Amino acid sequence: MPTVTMQKVTVSLPNDLIEFADRRATEQGISRSKLIANLLAEVKMSEEDTLAAEGYQFYAQEAREFAEASQQITAEIWNNDSEAG
């Protein structure tokens, strides 16, 4: 398993968020730092999933457009061959 480099940071949060974080961390049996790291990792993964989905939609649209253009060209070729023969 790869080693994860950790770094200490200082953040300022409103008291209600600290209390919420402490309750959730206690419920989950983890530290406040681990809770915050997990939440940030979830947001990061969500953003990456959104970007991937947008990319897939873009390429799917390109593929549809190519297929439609290819279908039109193929139909024209078939029509020309039928008229010539």
If one counts every other C-beta atom within 10 angstroms of the C-beta of residue 34, the result is: 12
pLDDT, mean of residues 52-56: 85
What does the pLDDT read at residue 58? 84
pLDDT digits (tens, 9 = 90+) for 58-78: 888 888 888 888 888 888 788
CA distances from 12 to 16, 39, 84 (A): 12, 16, 79
CA distances from 52 to 49, 56, 60, 62, 65 (A): 5, 6, 12, 15, 20
Assign 7 to helix, strand or coil.
coil
Full-model pTM: 0.61
Tokens of 10: 């200082």
